[in-house]
A and B are shown apart, each in its own frame.
Chain A
Amino acid sequence: MNRLALIGLLPLALATSVAAQTMDHSSMPGMTMPMPAAKPPAKPKAAPLKKSTKAKPDPRRLRHVNRPTAVAPRASPASTPSGPHAGHDMAGMPMPGAAADGNTMANMAGMAPAQPPRAGGNMPAMPGMKGMDMSTPAPPGHDMAAMPAMTEPDIPKTPPPPPPTDHAADRVFDPATMAAARVTLRGEHGGERISMVMANIAEYQARSGGEAGYHWVGEARYGGDINRFVLKSEGEGSRRQGVDSAEVQGLYSHAIGPYFDLQAGVRQDFKPHSRTYATVGFEGLAPYWFDVQGALFLSNKGELLGRLESTYDLRLTQRLILQPRAEVNLAAQDTPETRTGSGLSNAELGLRLRYEIRREFAPYIGVSYDRKFGRTADYARALGEDRAATSFVIGIRAWF
């Protein structure tokens, strides 16, 4: 097998590294630290302690900064002036193991200044190291100097060169073929369009004191992340009387923030009366994980309606989910023809318990309470209907 010549480094390293794994500097006074044979890097220019309003740094501190951890010869503005590194002179050595420690110390933010440096399992594995006493706890400020790279005062954020207008591969391959490939590339890296059809509610309702009915609320969408076409539909009915109410909305949906879409389009009611509305609304995810949507509808007869809807998924277990749902409908005027009164016309509260056999397929049972208010209730009473109804429901929530 690969019996390759050795460089003498690895066997030694292997032998020692095993021992190293459980080592902790705090428990190893006098342990040896790596001192690579390589020459120490050039001494840094005592360069800009830009924000340092403090005392002139101790020379040893600068050398310390020159440790490999501090990426470039620089002094961190965050350095505290407080400490020469009492007791351990790290004079300008690339000290890999300690470098790791130093950086990690940075994470500690000086909050536990007396903590000893953390063990680096690789330390003893370094060849050619000389003695270095690491038993001394790192002084405060040590870690600050070691703060890595992120706010490099020495490396300016100068503007990049102007973006090229050519494409490298066009020099090798047919530019027209490449142009087509770039179109595909964009499409496959963020440009995908997705469809979804979802029935949040598709249920049979057993109504208290009344006849059995059904109810659906669903939507379909197609498009990208920002712009989509959305179809929404909801309605209900009963077996004897057929469809009681039914509407469909066709909307253009535009993402206006991380969580919300603005939606505008047309709503068509088929039952109880044919009506066409212009629609503007929103849909999204509110704080505390509430799915919310709302819309204003202006009909071709000049009526103004509003609707707010919210659901929440209370996860009892990974698959058993309790979904409270509320919908309120509002109107700006009385419309006897559609039996709608001004103000709050009706509210529907539901509580549905579903079991997600798959995420996209969940049967449920629940209860739904519908109540009409104000003139809407009056219209209902006039027709001999109750103004409130409670239903036990059973249905399927599904999407694909």
Chain B
Amino acid sequence: MKDLHRRQLLRGASAIGGGLALTTLLPSWAQSATPGLAPSMPTLSGPSIDLTISHAQLSVDGRVGHAVTINGTVPGPLLRLKEGQNVRLSVKNELNEETSIHWHGVLVPFQMDGVPGVSFPGIKPSQTFVYEFPIIQSGTYWYHSHSGLQEAEGHYGPIIIDPKDADPVVYDREHVVVLSDFSFMHPHLIFKRMKQQSGVFNFQKQTVASLLAGKDQTLQERIEWAKMRMDPTDISDVTGAALKFLINGHGPKDNWTGLFTPGERVRLRFINTAAQMIFNVRIPGLKMTVVAADGQTVRPVGVDEFQIGNAETYDVIVQPTEDKAFTLVAEAVDRSGMARATLAPRPGMSAPVPPLRERPLATMKDMGMDMSAMNMSGVGAPAAGGMPGMAGMDHASMPGMASTSPPGMAPPKPRGSDAMGGMGSMKMSMRDPLNGPGVKMGPGVQTIAPMPMDRTGEPGQGLESVGHRVLVYQDLVALTPNPDARTPSRALDIHLTGNMERFMWGFDGEKFSEATKPYAFSKGERVRVTLINDTMMAHPIHLHGHFFDLAHGPTGYRPRKHTVIVLPGGKVAWDFTADAGDWAFHCHMLYHMHAGMFQVFSVRPLDGAPA
């Protein structure tokens, strides 16, 4: 995918007419050159909906692979529901393995949540399971399989729930933008390869060639990192070497096109349904105003780019005024490829596709060893030069600190500034159990961040210095009052742990297969959960059945989410009000979840049970 350069893309664009033959596996909302969602469009809505899970051959950029389909398409049909209605969804399994559907972000009774082994037994081959629940919210959501690795094979689709009252977001036209990753390799083989050899899909490692060319880390940094057995290029486990990145089921050459009339306010509903890839989304030439996150409306934020973790959704408004095409770029976080689409006034138009930007390198901060954090953890003395042995460090040059610039516009980090240099005396252990009380130390715990910090004010890996405004979580403020603004009565730390060499992932040092008990909560209690990422990879963490309020922003108007990226070496605090039932809680990178980064939140008493 690295070779996927502009000329090829443009050639692909010109072949759009020929691409129509491929659209048979696409639902109407996802077909290219679409004028957008229209009431007349055959979406699935109403009180009773039938879905059939099957499989088919899927063509991406002219190559054919195996896919799991919903009603015969990838992505699945758009479910358009209305707040206040009841819905009955009959899901028929025509696969020869078990399947399931989880309604991601939709508040449902626990037995309708769709996680086999937690909320229900799963849907066996040739069985039909009927989900039935009231719709008590509105916004952009999605649905996907929670069985095996089916989600990676195409088992996902979008959900739009229209509000029962007037939509606070005003727009003239809307498109759903489903981002996904698809592989011609079977997902079980992908998983096996990663277990067999760490970094097997990474073709952007540091090399002697890059050292001689004066790129990437300096020799000193490389030696220091090698000593720690840490690879700064390990940004994504599965990469463009094994994945195609899709928008609405279209590869970059297929070039999905959404139409607009100049001057219109166009609402784009972004959903990252990818199994493993985090995307950086931008539309060169257009400002985006973020109006909803994870289906929940937020006060409008104008940005040029945003990072979208697996399972997150963002609604943005764009208002193209010129009669020309714009390229929508969803670049893989490790820059190993991109998904690409076009917004245009007429079918067949295209705009230049920007080349992939240079891939980011993880930093000491991603290990939870940030110099600035050290000063913070001190007595509050703001003396930058006050730490012994740090004389050589140029603090002002470190991204994320002391920056006068908005997120995304920090000056580039100078090469070589990540060496620990004069810090020899600091003796920071990368695996000190004291830094992770409650973490079960074992082979599955490679590191424990010595000084994890709140990184919700940062734009995400690789976006620190892109030269334009990037969304950060701290930009998000709920548009409507939070339903529960109580101060939490207790706090809970959950460490995200892993071993990148063994491809083991878990919570508090345990894979789910090893865990002996769930996280327990009392019904109705308000808890402050702090997720601490002890690993060197970002993890989008999802809690089923709830929205949680990120613990920043104005009291009563905190942003409500169902999934949040915890940056490496970072931590994210949120408050939630426990709802009765057993609820899955996991990393939404499918392969991390499959490797063990999964748990259950058990909330008791259950409704109707004696307290």
Of chain A, the residue at the smallest CB distance from B166 is A5
Known: A41-B556, A190-B506. A318 touches B205 (CB 8 A): yes
Which B residues are in CB contact (< 8 Å) with A3? 172
Tell me, yes or no, whether A46 is within 8 Å of chain B by CB: no
Is there contact, CB below 8 Å, between B227 and A287? yes
Segment touching B, from A97-105, A265-273, A368-376, A378-386: A97-105
Query: How far does the alpha carbon of A185 sit from the alpha carbon of B317 in the complex, in Å?
Result: 40
Is there contact, CB below 8 Å, between B291 and A10? yes
Which B residues are in CB contact (< 8 Å) with A28? none
Tell me, yes or no, whether B197 is within 8 Å of chain A by CB: yes
Tell me, yes or no, whether B257 is within 8 Å of chain A by CB: no
Query: How far does the alpha carbon of A22 sit from the alpha carbon of B486 in the complex, in Å?
Result: 36
Tell me, yes or no, whether B499 is within 8 Å of chain A by CB: yes
Of chain B, the residue at the smallest CB distance from A181 is B117
Known: A7-B166, A111-B375. A164 touches B446 (CB 8 A): no
Is there contact, CB below 8 Å, between A190 and B595? yes
Shortest beta-carbon distance, B321 to chain A, in Å?
11
Query: How far does the alpha carbon of A196 sit from the alpha carbon of B191 in the complex, in Å?
Result: 13
Which one of B172, B291, B443 contacts A226 once the chains associate, using CB atoms below 8 Å?
B443
Which one of A13, A67, A189, A399 contacts B512 once the chains associate, using CB atoms below 8 Å?
A189
Of chain A, the residue at the smallest CB distance from B36 is A1
Which A residues are in CB contact (< 8 Å) with B302? 17-18, 20-21, 121-122, 125
Which A residues are in CB contact (< 8 Å) with B167? 2, 4-5
Residue among B116, B117, B205, B517 with most chain A CB within 10 A: B117
Query: How far does the alpha carbon of A256 sit from the alpha carbon of B606 in the complex, in Å?
Result: 41
Residues in B141-190 with C-beta less than 8 Å from chain A: 148, 166-174
Shortest beta-carbon distance, A114 to chain B, in Å?
10
The contact string, 1 if C-beta is below 8 Å from chain A, for chain B 387-407, is 000000001100011111111
Is there contact, CB below 8 Å, between B596 and A100? no
Which one of A9, A20, A140, A259 contacts B382 once the chains associate, using CB atoms below 8 Å?
A140
Query: How far does the alpha carbon of A186 sit from the alpha carbon of B599 in the complex, in Å?
Result: 10
Is there contact, CB below 8 Å, between B593 and A107? no
Which A residues are in CB contact (< 8 Å) with B400? 107
Is there contact, CB below 8 Å, between A107 and B518? no
Of chain A, the residue at the smallest CB distance from B384 is A111
Query: How far does the alpha carbon of A360 sit from the alpha carbon of B167 in the complex, in Å?
Result: 53
Which one of A72, A258, A315, A316 contacts B487 once the chains associate, using CB atoms below 8 Å?
A72
Tell me, yes or no, whether A350 is within 8 Å of chain B by CB: no
Is there contact, CB below 8 Å, between A315 and B111? no
Query: How far does the alpha carbon of A5 sit from the alpha carbon of B162 in the complex, in Å?
Result: 13
Query: How far does the alpha carbon of A4 sit from the alpha carbon of B479 in the complex, in Å?
Result: 17
Which one of B209, B554, B580 contacts A94 once the chains associate, using CB atoms below 8 Å?
B554
Is there contact, CB below 8 Å, between B226 and A173? no
Is there contact, CB below 8 Å, between B401 and A108? yes
Residues in A1-31 with C-beta less than 8 Å from chain B: 1-7, 9-11, 13-14, 17-18, 20-22, 24, 26
Which one of B39, B380, B405, B602 contacts A164 once the chains associate, using CB atoms below 8 Å?
B602
Shortest beta-carbon distance, A53 to chain B, in Å?
10
Shortest beta-carbon distance, B264 to chain A, in Å?
9
Tell me, yes or no, whether B289 is within 8 Å of chain A by CB: yes
Tell me, yes or no, whether B299 is within 8 Å of chain A by CB: yes
Which A residues are in CB contact (< 8 Å) with B598? 189-190
The contact string, 1 if C-beta is below 8 Å from chain A, for chain B 304-336, is 100000000000010100000000000000000
Which A residues are in CB contact (< 8 Å) with B193? 359-360
Which B residues are in CB contact (< 8 Å) with A11? 170
Tell me, yes or no, whether A398 is within 8 Å of chain B by CB: no
Is there contact, CB below 8 Å, between B404 and A118? yes
Residue among B200, B469, B489 with most chain A CB within 10 A: B469
Residues in B449-496 with C-beta less than 8 Å from chain A: 452-458, 469, 472, 474-475, 477, 479, 481, 487-493
Of chain A, the residue at the smallest CB distance from B443 is A255
Is there contact, CB below 8 Å, between A96 and B477? yes
Of chain A, the residue at the smallest CB distance from B405 is A118
Known: A1-B172, A21-B304, A181-B116. A148 touches B573 (CB 8 A): yes
Tell me, yes or no, whether A241 is within 8 Å of chain B by CB: no
Tell me, yes or no, whether A251 is within 8 Å of chain B by CB: no
Is there contact, CB below 8 Å, between B554 and A71? no
Tell me, yes or no, whether B513 is within 8 Å of chain A by CB: yes
Of chain A, the residue at the smallest CB distance from B376 is A109
Query: How far does the alpha carbon of A128 sit from the alpha carbon of B400 in the complex, in Å?
Result: 31
Tell me, yes or no, whether B79 is within 8 Å of chain A by CB: no
Known: A161-B604, A171-B606. A17 touches B582 (CB 8 A): no
Is there contact, CB below 8 Å, between A192 and B191? yes
Which A residues are in CB contact (< 8 Å) with B596? 189-191
Tell me, yes or no, whether B90 is within 8 Å of chain A by CB: no
Tell me, yes or no, whether A68 is within 8 Å of chain B by CB: yes
Of chain A, the residue at the smallest CB distance from B437 is A157
Which B residues are in CB contact (< 8 Å) with A26? 404
Known: A121-B475, A148-B454. A316 touches B209 (CB 8 A): yes
Tell me, yes or no, whether B192 is within 8 Å of chain A by CB: yes
Which B residues are in CB contact (< 8 Å) with A148? 454, 456, 551-552, 573
Is there contact, CB below 8 Å, between B490 and A156? yes
Is there contact, CB below 8 Å, between A359 and B511? no
Shortest beta-carbon distance, B172 to chain A, in Å?
6
Tell me, yes or no, whether B433 is within 8 Å of chain A by CB: no
Which one of A106, A125, A150, A168 contacts B606 once the chains associate, using CB atoms below 8 Å?
A168
Of chain A, the residue at the smallest CB distance from B147 is A188
Which one of B121, B265, B506, B528 contacts A174 once the chains associate, using CB atoms below 8 Å?
B121
Which B residues are in CB contact (< 8 Å) with A108? 372, 401-403
Tell me, yes or no, whether B536 is within 8 Å of chain A by CB: no
Which one of B299, B380, B505, B580 contacts A144 once the chains associate, using CB atoms below 8 Å?
B380
Tell me, yes or no, whether B502 is within 8 Å of chain A by CB: yes
Query: How far does the alpha carbon of A127 sit from the alpha carbon of B373 in the complex, in Å?
Result: 35
Of chain A, the residue at the smallest CB distance from B504 is A225
Residues in A246-269 with C-beta less than 8 Å from chain B: 255-259
Is there contact, CB below 8 Å, between B528 and A155? yes
Residues in B416-458 with C-beta less than 8 Å from chain A: 431, 442-446, 452-458
Is there contact, CB below 8 Å, between B454 and A150? yes
Is there contact, CB below 8 Å, between B173 and A1? yes
Known: A164-B520, A169-B111, A255-B443. A194 touches B229 (CB 8 A): no
Is there contact, CB below 8 Å, between B300 and A168? no
Query: How far does the alpha carbon of A60 sit from the alpha carbon of B436 in the complex, in Å?
Result: 36
The contact string, 1 if C-beta is below 8 Å from chain B, for chain A 149-178, is 110101111101111100111011110011
Is there contact, CB below 8 Å, between A71 and B551? yes
Tell me, yes or no, whether B228 is within 8 Å of chain A by CB: yes
Of chain B, the residue at the smallest CB distance from A22 is B469
Tell me, yes or no, whether B367 is within 8 Å of chain A by CB: no
Is there contact, CB below 8 Å, between B172 and A168? no
Is there contact, CB below 8 Å, between B380 and A94? no
Of chain A, the residue at the smallest CB distance from B457 is A104
Tell me, yes or no, whether B208 is within 8 Å of chain A by CB: yes
Is there contact, CB below 8 Å, between A189 and B511? yes
Shortest beta-carbon distance, A358 to chain B, in Å?
9
Is there contact, CB below 8 Å, between A119 and B384? no
Which A residues are in CB contact (< 8 Å) with B111? 168-169, 172-173
Known: A107-B372, A119-B406, A163-B520. A95 touches B301 (CB 8 A): no
Tell me, yes or no, whether A136 is within 8 Å of chain B by CB: no
Query: How far does the alpha carbon of A134 sit from the alpha carbon of B582 in the complex, in Å?
Result: 47
Is there contact, CB below 8 Å, between B200 and A359? yes
Is there contact, CB below 8 Å, between B402 and A68? no
Contacts A119-B406, A126-B299 supplied; 5 other A-B pairs, CB < 8 Å: A152-B491, A168-B119, A184-B116, A187-B513, A258-B446
A interface, CB within 8 angstroms of B: 1-7, 9-11, 13-14, 17-18, 20-22, 24, 26, 36, 38, 41, 67-69, 71-73, 78-80, 94-96, 99-100, 103-104, 106-113, 115-116, 118-122, 125-126, 140-141, 144, 147-150, 152, 154-158, 160-164, 167-169, 171-174, 177-178, 180-192, 194, 196, 225-226, 255-259, 285, 287-289, 314-319, 359-360, 399
Offer 15 A-B interface pairs, CB within 8 angstroms, sorted by A: A14-B289, A94-B557, A100-B474, A118-B405, A121-B301, A122-B300, A144-B376, A157-B492, A160-B519, A161-B521, A181-B116, A192-B191, A196-B196, A255-B502, A316-B209
